[in-house]
Structure 1
Amino acid sequence: LPLYTSAQIYNNITLGLSITTLDENPYWTSPSGDFAFGFHPQQDLFLVATWYVKIPIKTIFWTANNGKPIERGAKIQLTSNGVLSLTAPNGSETRIGQAIDNSQVTYAAILNTGNFVLSTKESKIVWATFDNPTDTILPNQVLDLGNKLSSRLTKDDYTIGRFELVLQGDGNLMLYSIARPKENTNTPYWRSDTLNNGSQLIFNQSGNIYLTLRSGGIHSLSSERPPSTEDYYQRATLDYDGVFRQYTYPKISPNGRWPESCKLWEYGSGVCGFNSYCRLDEDQRPECGCPPGYTYLDPKNTFRGCKPNFVLQVCETDELRIVDGFEMRDLPSTDWPFADYEWFKSVNEDWCRETCLIDCFCAAAIIRGGNSSAERSPSTIYKENNEDDNWILPGSILLGISAVLNLLFLFLVIYSACYKKQTRTQTDTRTFEANLRSFTYEELNEATDGFKEQLGKGASSTVYKGVLKSDFECLVAVKRLDKVVEGNDKEFKAETSAIGKTNHKNLVQLVGFCNEETHRLLVYEFMMNGSLENFLFGSLRLCWNQRIQIALGIARGLAYLHEECSSQIIHCDVKPQNILIDNSHVARISDFGLAKLLKSDQTRTTTGIRGTRGYVAPEWFRNMPITTKVDVYSFGIMLLEIICCRKNCEPEALHLLVVNDEEAKNDGKNLERMVMVALWCIQEEPSLRPSMKKVTQMLEGAVEVSMPPSPSSFICSTG
């Protein structure tokens, strides 16, 4: 039977109303009774979610709290100040939803569309689950530029998984796999090819899914005509296997499962973890298995991969000692592509078996006709081909092909180091502490085509565009430090390790480094959209709401560097040029943590000031202690620039500088709050400036912003 069939229907949820897991019906339903919002049982715990009420199969289409279940005794409340909050049994509080100005909120409701909203007394929606989707969109839902869907981890685990569907700021709709927990984006395995043309992803009332185009017209994604939404429930979900599917379910005579209306994109990517192979079950969903001699890392989550349950093979000069106790096993119709480290032509199967067996670095050998390839371990991907069906079996590397396989896979039941012998190559990459890769200079010289395409240049470094061919054409930004503190390899490694350990969505991720002879290079993920400077002072102007989110992202990133890292990091050069914008128009702070790597004369002017003119805090001039408050000051200057889209604008002139910005003028309360936060940040006395954590809370509206004193040290620059 459907869950909680005797639910009370609430049209409006007024301020102060609450539900708890201890209630008989711990949720609110839509007027039609089709949808519910509240606590959904998840074994002995509860999910904060929205779901379908009238169908027997559990179908959750939105979750709060990043999909993490909560214990019995939790409470959801629309507080008197207009915030939708979740209180755990231990008393800790999490905000599920809030408006930019919470004082406007007078009630909440779950609508007949399945959208849970916070509204004003004029019924203006100021926050909605439809604007903050998780893995699913429903009819009448729109995905705007910069928004995304994130898959769940597994069928029954609703925490964030490894795939994202993103409508980028450039108008392209992309499917990515994500390297968590670092949040690195891999090469997209599907794209709409609507660069500079896509506008919105719309799931309309008729059940059609399409992109609206700036040039006019639409780009349809539904492969067939869907049934009527009057007779069928419909949803489109980015499933845990990375495939975006549209589903239908009859409102009358339910059949116990959601049949697919269509696969919007047939190819997914990256489901099974290391040392595992993938096959499809009877519902055409991925199922991960372990080769002989391996067991699951986590039997409760088979997607994490497999581990060896035997003693590892040891590299010896005596070949007999290497092969003693090991043998080759056959896995027919299975492949391990993209991991070749040696390739042999015109050889037979016996030769390939013997060669792999005596090679302690070889985990597997693949026979393709008369050719053989040796593969490293751990295994990153397998494909398996049944006689009846030819289908993609994804692993942890991207696939975008479908082929009939006629392969013999020879699996060597060993697990050895994934690096080659030094005698075979001098250009091998190694994994360094904090998951950083150590590159050779030659590798980066090749990746940048001889340091050919320059992305930017500063006083202490030059940045070049590069392509890591060993990582499936992965784009990177290679920063060459022109002058560093010499003769201190330990400090260089310690500092790069500290940078590499940072992990925040508003920081540019360090991928690796080169520390070879006199060469010191840092390798970062590539940001296609360039720096914030282009969007503030160039022709590409961000809208007001985007600028608000950019400011919030920078504040959160700096707060993380100041208070949440194992070693506190003071940036010392916060400015728009050091804020990069990713494909989803999320602000990403770059160049943090470099101060100790550079010679002092490379980061200071002749007056001993570190940073950039116009953003430098007054204490640099006064031989005062340098603290995190120098970053707060620089952020305040930059916040004024974000508000008015002009370099180092004077606070007194803000009303003139936003005169042509209708969005900003119509959002007076938020504009006033941001200006007051900026004025607090640029106070001459460091102790008067708030911490970046407090700045974040003020920008979010979580704490009141009092009237700041006049910032007497404010310096206006026309630069």
Structure 2
Amino acid sequence: MAPVLSTIFLFFYVLSAVEGAEQELPSRIILGSSLFPTSHPPSWFSPSGRFAFGFYQQGTGFAVGIWLVGKHNTTVVWTANRNDPPVSANSTIVLTEDGKLLYRIGQGGEKLIANNTEAASFASLHDSGNLVLYNKNSEVIWESFKYPTDTILGGQTLFSGGQLISSSDTGHSTGRFHLKMQDDGNLVLYPLNTGDTPGDAYWDSQTFGDGSKFHLYLNSSGHLLIINGTISKIIKTLYYNSLSAYNDNSTIYHATLDTDGVLRLYSHRYNETGELKAWPALKNPCEVKSFCGFNSYCTLNDGQPVCLCLPGSAPIDPNQGTLGCSRNYSESGCKGGKENALHFNITTMENIEWGDRHYVQQSMSIDECSKSCLEDCNCGAALFSKNMCMKQGLPLRYVVRKIQSGDQDASTTALLKVGIGGNRTDLIPSKPTIIVFASEKELLPAILMTSGLVLFSCISLIIFCLFIYKIRSIRYKRLLENGEDGLTEELKLRLFSYNELKVATNGFKEELGKGSFGAVYKGTLYRGKKLVAVKRLEKLLEEGEREFQAEMRAIGRTHHKNLVRLLGYCAVDSKRLLVYEYMGNGSLANLLFKSSGRPDWNERIRIAIDVAKGILYLHEECETPIIHCDIKPQNILMDDFWTAKIADFGLAKLLMPDQTRTFTILRGTRGYVAPEWHKNTPISVKADVYSYGIVLLEIVCCRRNMELNTSKPEEIILSTWVHQCFVAGELQKLVIGEEADKKSLEKMVMVALWCIQDEPALRPSMKSVVMMLEGITDISIPPCPTAESM
């Protein structure tokens, strides 16, 4: 029976192809024809009137496309330039006299609808819904069937290498999923902007072979087939319609990748109302990977998919559950070790799985797994199964809650780290208070003794405070008079006289650079044997003294190969100078933006890792955590061996040992400061992570974050342009003319996009950044950096 059906299908497939080639052309759309959104003619119709091409309403504006005309509504099956914003009511579609099909936007520019290289002589909209341009010999030079968006129609083929991309929830722009007719012959559904690996797929046709010959074909009678176009052989039937439908010309079929990521086949009958769903690739939309976004999972409620956040996270947007969830606690308080139990707890969920690759897998008990994740700052969750503990950093993707199977060996337990609000004294049961009554005679001596002790304690405390105040006043006076504040002994820095540094710099003659608080000069010590850089603070009073103290405390206690080393200082009268090691190759800004030749790709990767390690040292490895507050290429210097080192701690904000966040005035440089600086919220080390993300993008592209001289408006803001290229899969545009490794380019961009997330909690720690750049941990697909763009 199967060979007979296959023969019948092939007969009608070939017949429909022949009929499509031999049918008479529909009414011609001649050169010079125009369409208008709100006046006649609004659209061009196919001969039967079933399809229309022109402007259709989208929000408060109009989009250009093809739609199936219904009795009560319209179904859009193709959209031109789908990611462009809606156009205004004074726009026009024109088939120009020189054979171009385009639309004019208001009083301004033009947008091509068809990219035909040969001039068109006329156009036609077929009853199949195919918009076709013809040359003077009536030969097809362009057709909409070759450029599908989210839909294929009856008689349309999705060729090898082609894809359908779902529409967004708010319109017909690009959505979150795509259907791909792969070169290996397999038809696969993936979330968009993933690696399209087997781990990303959530449905496939299981067809493999000579993929260059395999096509997805929907015939006019509703048969959805995968065929070998070369030998006209059916490889697989995805949906088989009854044979009686072959003579039913009142039914139109289309297969659409819907906004929820499910491919469905629809039928429209003109003697009935509405449309019918004939076939879905997936019956349960919760099987769609990434349907609910990061840190959330899908469940069915009355047959409808609902997205729920994992414990320890909250919705990014309560009105759009599919955007995912972000952690509802800060990770900056994580110090590692047993003290984490004061700030975090572990909660469990049964039969939960996710699609990320774990960074640690060890054999241990569930209690040991829970404790290990709790004490590990990189661990946001762990999966426990068959006595194996698999630790995973956040965010989690492709989270699935499995149906209980009854197979204990296949069960999994998710251990999720959550933050604890406030202290935990409320968890400790209080002991009952015992009240003992005594007589007045017994109470009087106790009262007198207690009062005496309180009075003595108060007097002692006052005397102690006055003593401490006097000592500090004397120390501060010495600091202002001669700089002898004990810092030399504490920091083991050399104390220079002013004349020594004046001679060393030849009277401050050769200026290396200038900052907000003073200039930096080149100098030599030890009879010219050692080059140094001398920073002279010029704003001396309150601001200069504050800067001097900040740099002394911040740099004096640090020692790392990726930090500029402080050698000594001068503090005589009102003069404040700092002596640094000399960095012979200038700043990273000069190397990236002013150098005649770009650093090669491997050199840029090394510089990015050097800078990340320097910031990691400041955040996590210093005795006192330091927020630099002004990470930018001008403050990253290159030594004689081209090692990148972070400089200029004058704006650094030191944290107390028990602090994770702090309030402070706005610091830093425009273009590099994190959004939270403008929101009057506490600043954490994540502010430096944001600045590093901007610098990382500049290292990748060798251009500034803002470039006003570019000819393309979308390239003005670097971070916006990079995200657009990432979404479009066109990262090679960022390094045109270079041989950059594709995988490392994608890795650097993904890390940078995670670092510049608006929400500080979504940004990784610098330890995670270093591990991702060095390839130790995998990188999840980052969401859009700005919440407004989601």
- TM-score, normalised via structure 1 length: 0.51
**How far 1:564 sits from its partner (Å)?**
6.5
Are 1:220 and 2:236 matched, yes or no?
yes
Identify the range of structure 1 (134-143 vs 227-236) with the bigger mean alpha-carbon deviation: 227-236
Correspondence for 1:275: 295
Partner Cα separation in structure 1 for residue 319 and residue 50 of structure 2: 32
User: Aligned residues, how many?
Assistant: 431
Partner Cα separation in structure 2 for residue 283 and residue 310 of structure 1: 33
**Mapped contact 1:353–1:410 kept (Cα < 8 A):** yes
**How far 1:52 sits from its partner (Å)?**
1.5
Counterpart amino acid of residue 172 in structure 2: Y
Counterpart amino acid of residue 418 in structure 2: V
Counterpart amino acid of residue 160 in structure 1: T
**Mapped contact 1:314–1:360 kept (Cα < 8 A):** no
Correspondence for 1:130: 145
Partner Cα separation in structure 1 for residue 299 and residue 329 of structure 2: 25
Correspondence for 1:410: 415
Matches within 5 A, 1:56-67: 56=72, 58-67=74-83
Correspondence for 1:116: 131
| 1:359 aligned residue (351, 376, 398) | 376
**Mapped contact 2:290–2:397 kept (Cα < 8 A):** no
SS at the partner of 1:237? strand
| Higher share of residues assigned helix | 2
Are 1:251 and 2:270 matched, yes or no?
yes
**How far 1:560 sits from its partner (Å)?**
11
Task: Let me know the Cα RMSD of the aligned residues.
Answer: 4.8
Correspondence for 2:358: 340
**Mapped contact 1:105–1:121 kept (Cα < 8 A):** yes
Partner Cα separation in structure 2 for residue 333 and residue 309 of structure 1: 23
Correspondence for 1:324: 342
Correspondence for 2:68: 52
**How far 1:87 sits from its partner (Å)?**
1.8
**Mapped contact 1:178–1:186 kept (Cα < 8 A):** no
**How far 1:141 sits from its partner (Å)?**
0.9
Cα distance 1:269–1:381, how it changes in 2: closer, same or farther (>3 A)? closer
Partner Cα separation in structure 2 for residue 177 and residue 438 of structure 1: 35
Counterpart amino acid of residue 356 in structure 1: C
**How far 1:204 sits from its partner (Å)?**
1.9
Identify the range of structure 1 (406-415 vs 217-226) with the bigger mean alpha-carbon deviation: 406-415
Cα distance 1:232–1:333, how it changes in 2: closer, same or farther (>3 A)? farther
Are 1:205 and 2:220 matched, yes or no?
yes
Correspondence for 1:193: 208
**How far 1:70 sits from its partner (Å)?**
1.1
**Mapped contact 1:248–1:261 kept (Cα < 8 A):** no
Cα distance 1:591–1:406, how it changes in 2: closer, same or farther (>3 A)? same
Cα distance 1:351–1:588, how it changes in 2: closer, same or farther (>3 A)? closer
| 1:96 aligned residue (92, 113, 125) | 113
Matches within 5 A, 1:480-629: 487-489=641-643, 500-501=700-701, 593-594=737-738
| 2:157 aligned residue (142, 146, 157) | 142
Partner Cα separation in structure 2 for residue 96 and residue 217 of structure 1: 34
Cα distance 1:86–1:367, how it changes in 2: closer, same or farther (>3 A)? same
Partner Cα separation in structure 2 for residue 289 and residue 307 of structure 1: 12
**Mapped contact 1:296–1:302 kept (Cα < 8 A):** yes
Cα distance 1:193–1:94, how it changes in 2: closer, same or farther (>3 A)? same
**How far 1:137 sits from its partner (Å)?**
0.7
Q: 1:104-139 CA distances to partner (integer Å, 9 max, x unpaired)?
A: 422x23211111222345543322111111111111
**Mapped contact 2:191–2:289 kept (Cα < 8 A):** no
| 1:172 aligned residue (161, 181, 185) | 185
**Mapped contact 2:352–2:412 kept (Cα < 8 A):** yes
Cα distance 1:158–1:100, how it changes in 2: closer, same or farther (>3 A)? same
Cα distance 1:273–1:560, how it changes in 2: closer, same or farther (>3 A)? farther
Identify the range of structure 1 (228-237 vs 42-51) with the bigger mean alpha-carbon deviation: 228-237
Correspondence for 2:175: 161
SS at the partner of 2:370? helix
**Mapped contact 2:382–2:392 kept (Cα < 8 A):** yes
| 1:307 aligned residue (326, 330, 333) | 326
Cα distance 1:499–1:97, how it changes in 2: closer, same or farther (>3 A)? farther
**How far 1:591 sits from its partner (Å)?**
9.2
Runs of 5+ consecutive residues of structure 1 not aligned to the other structure: 1-9, 391-402, 416-432, 442-484, 504-558, 568-585, 598-719
Counterpart amino acid of residue 60 in structure 2: D
Are 1:21 and 2:37 matched, yes or no?
yes
Cα distance 1:346–1:293, how it changes in 2: closer, same or farther (>3 A)? closer
**Mapped contact 2:186–2:211 kept (Cα < 8 A):** no
Q: 1:59-106 CA distances to partner (integer Å, 9 max, x unpaired)?
A: 22111113434132222222222211122235121001142211x422
**How far 1:39 sits from its partner (Å)?**
1.8
Correspondence for 1:263: 281
Cα distance 1:60–1:301, how it changes in 2: closer, same or farther (>3 A)? farther
Counterpart amino acid of residue 125 in structure 1: V
SS at the partner of 1:50? strand
Counterpart amino acid of residue 161 in structure 1: G
Runs of 5+ consecutive residues of structure 2 not aligned to the other structure: 1-25, 421-591, 593-600, 607-638, 646-691, 704-709, 719-729, 742-790
**Mapped contact 1:235–1:248 kept (Cα < 8 A):** yes
Q: 1:125-180 CA distances to partner (integer Å, 9 max, x unpaired)?
A: 3221111111111111123344332232x344322234443445x56344364664
Partner Cα separation in structure 1 for residue 214 and residue 355 of structure 2: 37
Matches within 5 A, 1:628-643: none
Partner Cα separation in structure 2 for residue 123 and residue 132 of structure 1: 20
Counterpart amino acid of residue 132 in structure 2: V
**How far 1:246 sits from its partner (Å)?**
2.3
Correspondence for 1:481: none
Cα distance 1:343–1:226, how it changes in 2: closer, same or farther (>3 A)? farther
Cα distance 1:114–1:594, how it changes in 2: closer, same or farther (>3 A)? closer
Correspondence for 1:238: 257
**Mapped contact 2:157–2:216 kept (Cα < 8 A):** yes
- The share of aligned pairs that are identical, in percent, is 27
Cα distance 1:566–1:439, how it changes in 2: closer, same or farther (>3 A)? closer
Cα distance 1:24–1:323, how it changes in 2: closer, same or farther (>3 A)? farther
**Mapped contact 2:191–2:290 kept (Cα < 8 A):** no
**Mapped contact 1:171–1:194 kept (Cα < 8 A):** yes
Partner Cα separation in structure 2 for residue 495 and residue 200 of structure 1: 45
Partner Cα separation in structure 1 for residue 121 and residue 160 of structure 2: 26
**How far 1:42 sits from its partner (Å)?**
1.9
Partner Cα separation in structure 2 for residue 596 and residue 123 of structure 1: 45
Q: 1:266-318 CA distances to partner (integer Å, 9 max, x unpaired)?
A: 9754434322223356666x554333443333556544432233333523256
Counterpart amino acid of residue 642 in structure 2: N
Cα distance 1:292–1:178, how it changes in 2: closer, same or farther (>3 A)? closer
Cα distance 1:233–1:406, how it changes in 2: closer, same or farther (>3 A)? farther
- TM-score, normalised via structure 2 length: 0.46
Cα distance 1:79–1:440, how it changes in 2: closer, same or farther (>3 A)? closer
Cα distance 1:198–1:243, how it changes in 2: closer, same or farther (>3 A)? farther
Of structures 1 and 2, the one with the larger relative CO (CA 8 A, separation 6+) is 1
Correspondence for 2:586: none
